[in-house]
Amino acid sequence: MDSQSKKTVKMLLISNSTNAGEAFLEHPKEELKRFLNGTKRVLFIPWAAVTFSYDEFERKVQERFSEFGVEVDSIHHYRNVKTAVQEAEAIVVGGGNTFKLLKTIQQHDIVETVRNKVLDGTPYIGWSAGANVACPTICTTNDMPITEPDNFGAFSLIRFQINPHYLDANPAGHAGETREQRIMEFLEMDPYVYVVGLREGSMILLENVALTLKGPKSARIFKKGIPPFEVNPGDDMDFLFE
């Protein structure tokens, strides 16, 4: 991302939509309200949905966004999805299965359309899979590859990777890899990129040429050759631009 792009890009990347015991999009609602201030209508991309319909997903998001006075218009209603993206006031990408989301994005040939639109200043919100596709690739998703996209390349709106729903836990009796070990495996194959382990209830805000961690929890930062470290809420994360 060059310096000119950083001046215009506005993004909110959220680890998860729903905290345990809370309503849908409850935990980020104040940040969403502030982020969308002045926005009347958003283009919603529901293609990560697998076990429920796009209409149902749209209704669920609309219920929350109605609190902010924002209309949700889902891309699946459009015959010409490129035009829908090009005319969008803001773009919102929901969670679900990242492989299905990326495959559908590629089928509609809008990877570059969305990328150019957001880098030109259109606000972008994504949670879970929607945060994954903002990255250079989807290789740090937690999802099963239930379908096969053409490749793993995503919108590349940021230079770093995100691992949503990041967990430190290693459950008793579990002999498999921890999340941290899996990220270390990724870094063996791609040693020049940062990975942000974004814990649930957390989000990354890119605004006014600054990256900031929002929410109640720290994030864990990984890069080949340096020990993993923590970044606390409110901390500047501009080193991720490097």
Would you please indicate which residues are annotated as catalytic (active-site) residues? Answer: 128, 143, 165
Evaluate whether 196 touches 219 at the Cβ level (below 8 Å).
yes
Distance, CA of 214 to CA of 59 (rounded, Å): 26
Task: Dig out the tokens for 12 from the structure.
Answer: 């909110």
Residue count of the chain? 242
Q: What's the start-to-end Cα distance of the chain, in Å? A: 9
* Residue 196: Cβ within 10 Å count: 29
